Structures are given as C-alpha cells and as structure tokens.
A and B are shown apart, each in its own frame.
Chain A
Amino acid sequence: MNNFSKHVAALAATVAVAVVPTMVMAQDDNPLVTVDWLAENLSDPNVRVFEVSVDTGVYERGHIPGAVNLAWHTDLVDTVRRDIVSSEGLEAILQQAGVTEDTTVVLYGDNNNWFAAWGAWVFDIHGIHDVKLLDGGRKLWEAEGLPLDTATPEYAASTIDLPDEAAPLRARLTDVLDVVEGGANVSLVDIRGPKEFSGEIFAPEGVQELSVRAGHIPGAVNFPWGGAVNENGTFKSAEELKAAFAAIGIDGSKPIITYCRIGERSSHTWFVLNRILGYDVRNYDGSWTEYGNAVGVPIENPTGTVWGRI
C-alpha cells in the first residue's frame, strides 16, 4: 500500500496533479499555499510547516506557530562531502517532525523563499513530491502582521519511509557536458545576476564560494531569479512567468537545466519552471562553482575577465 501511494504521488508530481487524499484538498493541486490558507490551517495535524531561512536566528526569534526549523547548512546537506542530505538523513528529520504519508508539507523562508525552494527541491528528490511553498514566504507573513511564535515545537515521531531512489530532478556535470559538447537538446538557464553571467565579476561581493573562471556555460540564457517574484515576495502569476520565460526561449518544449553559483538560488527557478509551470526541469547544484572550476570545459566569457590579472 505504501509503495502504491508513493507511485501514485510520483506520477502525480510529474503531471503536476496531486492526488493524496487529505483533509486539505483545497490547495492540493497547487504547489503554493497562500498565507491566509496557512493561517487558517495551522492547527490541522495533517499540515506540517518547515522554515528554511538563510539567516541564523530568525526562526528562533519568531516563526510561524508550529513550524519546524531546518538549518540549510547542516540539516539539508551532507556535511562532509559536497552533496545534499541522504534519503536516510531526511527520513530521520521527517520522522522527528511527525510527518506521515498523509501530511501536507509546507516550506517557507526568508529572502523570498530562496532556500525554502531549495528545500522543496531536496524534499521532492527524496520522495515528498507534493511539497508546497508558502507564497510570499516569511516576508509576506511578517508584512501581514500574522502571529509568530518563539517556542520550538516537538511532535510525536512518525514512521514515514522515504524511497531509496532519488527522483530525477538533479543534473550532474556530465549531464551539462552532454548539452555543451554532445549537443543534447536541453535548454540551460543561468539565474545569476547579469554581471556574473557576463563574466564581469566572479561572484557577488562577500561570498566565499568562488570559481577561478568567470562567465557562463555556453548556450545558457540568463534569467536572474529575482525576476520571478513580486515586491511583496509572492511568485508572479503563472501567466506572467510563462510569458517572461517564453521571451528568452524557454517554453517547456524541451527539457531544462537550471544553475547558479552553488545551486541554491537556481532551485527557486527550478520551482517556478517545474512546479508552477510544469516543465521538465533538473537543477544543476554543482553550478558555476563546479563548472567554472572544472578543467578543460568550454566556457563563454563575454567580458574576458581574467582570474588573478590586476
């Protein structure tokens, strides 16, 4: 039965139609929940909210009541090798948070759901295919003056069992090279800022993870991720997003690979293209820090910035 419902869920995600029967059917076919909906459904035991914020300490000083904190730099990654958390690791987190097969999982975070979207990508890979984002994230919840809590909730542990096999939502360096050198029919979307894309700068000021080459992957189109959100932090409408991406040649007619510098911001665009628009998208989390550091791979560097030259 378990396996069956998982299969159904997997199928449902690929066609972007959720079929898990829960009390909260209302928004089941939507990858987003509104702040109003969440405020009304907070006490529903079948709804579990997770916060994934970039800033340390924002969760503790006030979070959506009942939300569980996920530290992106320890909970959702392998802390030894460069990798996302294992299926067993996420399983343990979900069990501790009391998540079952019937739970509606909602993620939210600061910075326009930047890392929450990355969390959704990780959840989806490991089998929580109907994971949802709170539209507007922390920003809108705070702006609306909705209540925050400072206590850390504790839930009775569940026995959820995640599939061992990862969903095919992740692109590796070889997949990208298949496109660049092998001519695979895949669109590449670079969601970094225009100055990173053009090679004028190596990385935004103050970041530590660097690549020793500037520019972008040949053939990629540039769509800075912030272009997908409104001023209040909510996602733009599906129609607006569809039109904006169509304008740069991304219309869902062929598979897509998104990337950025370390793979987190591009998860946001992965969410937009895959979960909201239903396109076939993989996120390349090695991103520019892997590709731009790889030896002997083709690069486009329009501005010609040279590493180390004064």
Chain B
Amino acid sequence: MTAPAIRFGLPAIILVALSWGVLSLNTQGVAGRPLAFSLLLGAAFGAVLQRSRFCFYCNFRDLIERREASGVLAILVALAVGAIGYTAVFGAWLPTPATDRLPPTAHIGPVSITLVIAAFAFGIGMAVSGSCLSAHFYRLAEGSVISPFAILGAAIGFGIGFLTWNPLFLTITSNAFIFWLPHHVGYDGGLLLTLAVLAGLAALTLWWARAPNPAAAVPLSLREAVERIFIVRWPAVTAGILIGAISTVAYFRVAPLGVTAELGSIARTLGTDWNIVPSSLFGLDGLRGCATIIKEALLSNNGLFVIGLIAASFVTSILAGQFQPRRITGKDVVRGLLGGLLLGWGAMTALGCTVGVLLSGIHAGSLSGWIFLVAMSVGILVSLQVARLFARRLV
C-alpha cells in the first residue's frame, strides 16, 4: 500500500496545478476561456475513463473472452446518450438537416475503403498494445509500462500515416463519400435508428454474456459512498451516461471529443520541420474528422484536453491505489511500439480514433463511426484468434 503522504499528497498537488491552470487560462479573456474549459473537460473525461475503466479494447475482450457484459454496455450507453445530446444540439444549430449542409466541426467523416483498412489496422494495434489511444493516456496513470511506448509508437505511426496519405488519397480516399444519417431520414429518424441499433447490440451483448453473481447489497453509509466513488469501479451505466454527457457538452462548447488531434499535430509539425512529411496533404482540409494541422500555438484545445485527461486520471488512480507499475520487459517495449505504430497509422489514416471517429462520429449520426466500429472489431477478433493459434502452437 502506498504511503498516505504520497497517496493523498500527490493527487492534491496535481489538483492544485490543474486548478491553477484553469484559473489562469480563464483570466486570459476570450482567447483563454475555451482553453480553460478544454482542460476541465479533459479532466472530467480522464476521471471517468479511469474510474470506470472505460477502455474500448479491454471491454470488448472482457465480453469475448470472459463473457462480461458491463464494459461493452458502458460503451453502448455512452453512444446512446451522446447521440441524444448531439441531436439536441444539431436541432438548434442546423434546424433542418435536409440540405447540403453539415453541422459545423462535427466528426462526420468520409467513408471509403481507406477507412476500413485504417480501422482494421487500429483494431490490431489495440490488441497488440493492449488498448486504444484514449485508454493508453489514462493507463499511464495506472503505471502501465506499455502505454508510454504505445504513445511514442503512435506518434511515429502518425508520421508514417502522413507519408502514405497522399498516395492513398489519390488511389482510394478521393472517392470517399460523406454519409450523414439525418440527411436521409431526418433528425428523429436518425436518432431512432441509432438507438434501435444500439439497443439491438445491447440485447446481443447480454444474451452472449454470463450474468454476474449478484453482489450483496451494502447499505449506503458515508464510508461506503467514498469507497464507491474513489475505490470501486464505477457502474457501467453511470460511466456511459457521463461519457455521453461530456461528449455533448464538449461538442456544444468547444469541439467534438477526440484525443489524437494534438498528437497528430505534433507529429506533423516535427515531420515537416525535419522535411520527412510532405508539406501538403491532399484533400485534408475538405475532409472532416480529427484533421491534423501544423502547430501554430503552444497551447491548443486538444492539447489541454489530453493534459487534463492524463492529470485527472493520475489523481483518481493514485487515490484508488491503482498506480501499480511493474518491471518493464523487452516484450512490453516491442508490443507498445508495434501496437502504437498501428494505432497511430490507423488514427491518422482514419482521421481519428475510437474517441474521435467511433464515439464522436456515431454521436453525430455519421456512417464513418459505424464503419470504424465494425472494421475495428474485426481487427480485434482476428488478432485474438491469431494470438490463440500461436498460444496453442507454443503449447
């Protein structure tokens, strides 16, 4: 058990630093307020991710291998709540969807074979490195020895993505199309359809899963409440509702949720400075998604969001006594770098990751989000199958 001075002192220091960041950015007026808000949102997102272990890959694997439904249910609830929230915002911003317009800045991305390949590669990257990018960020705070290498690998993967972007764009991606559900069936139809598919998936999940043993009901005392907030994993539905709500608020105030824009931006800036990455990427400005631009300012909304995410997950993780690093092995380094490489390449080429394309995309009613979900799941399943074959052969 960690010494109390560290267990409570470190989170306190991080919280003070976070608060100072928010307050000082807030005093910078019009330019600083969105940055402060992004930092806060990132912190909220990080805290929820860490407390509920909202990890796309781990949740999916738990369902496949252990027949545990709660993690996947959390994702489905998050998708449903966010879809409702987004529809409410869209109604105010673009009262009629039946035009050639799209709601501004929403991650309504292009659908193409490139997206399928990229999401498939991303799925393999998740299986190899043990989680997707958003989860690697919060798992840094749990002392994961793979995550630092996965993030490094992802930055390199982004660089490779920039190199392959132009040829891919010219051969495949330029034929991509945008499919926004409300354009075809209206806001109500789009939302109903989304909720129906999610309900179907939830039913399928529960059918496949084994019901957990019911936990003995403990009366809610102050001690029990503290335990449930700070130590025990948050319930799936609570986590899903919170993620959906954070996603809606983020879109309403700043931009859709996404965790790779800043990473991609750093990779592109470095790559351009070193003359490795082509200076112009065809069609990127016309496509929606976590577009990656050359950095102009040190502080960006997405950068602060990710900083807030990591900082807050350190707070909750240390408080819960879940910062538990183990000895690094060569295998960790290889898995991290290799998996990260695929994550980065996939995220660049798909114009986002599980959060940007899948979560924010499905919230927005974009077909690209669903395609990413399916191709990524296939990538994970194939990887798990291959891993099983290897394991058998080794025995």
Contact = CB atoms under 8 A, between A and B. Distances in A.
Interface of A: 56-57, 59-61, 139, 142-143, 150-152, 154, 206, 208
B364 to A, nearest CB: 13
Contact of A150 (B92, B254, B294): B92
Q: Which 3 A-B pairs have the closest CB atoms?
A: A57-B104, A57-B105, A60-B93
B196 to A, nearest CB: 28
10 contacts: A57-B104, A57-B105, A59-B104, A60-B105, A61-B252, A61-B253, A142-B30, A143-B30, A154-B95, A206-B294
A142 B296 CA distance: 23
B105 A152 contact: no
B94 interface: yes
Nearest to B285: A208
Contacts of A143: 29-30
A203 to B, nearest CB: 13
A154 B280 CA distance: 39
Interface string B7-38: 00000000000000000000001100000000
Nearest to A58: B104
A142 B30 CA distance: 7
Interface of B: 29-30, 92-95, 103-105, 252-255, 280, 285, 294, 296
Nearest to A206: B294
B30 to A, nearest CB: 5
Nearest to A139: B30
Interface secondary structure of B, over-half rule: loop
A57 B291 CA distance: 15
Given A60-B103, A61-B253, A152 B294 contact: no
A139 B296 CA distance: 20
A150 B29 contact: no
Given A56-B105, A150-B93, A208-B285, 9 more contacts: A57-B255, A59-B104, A61-B254, A139-B30, A142-B30, A150-B92, A152-B92, A152-B94, A206-B294
B95 A152 contact: yes
Contacts of B255: 57
Contacts of B104: 56-57, 59-60
A129 B132 CA distance: 56
A170 to B, nearest CB: 27
Contact of B252 (A59, A139, A150, A154): A150
A97 B294 CA distance: 37
Nearest to B33: A142
Nearest to A71: B101
A57 B103 CA distance: 8
A152 B93 contact: yes
Nearest to A149: B92
Contacts of A56: 104-105
A208 B294 CA distance: 13
Contacts of A151: 92-93
A206 B104 CA distance: 22
A302 B299 CA distance: 37
Contacts of B252: 61, 150
Contacts of A152: 92-95
Nearest to B96: A154
A85 to B, nearest CB: 15
A150 B105 CA distance: 15
Task: Indicate the member of B92, B255, B280 with the most A CB atoms within 10 Å.
Answer: B92
A142 B294 CA distance: 27
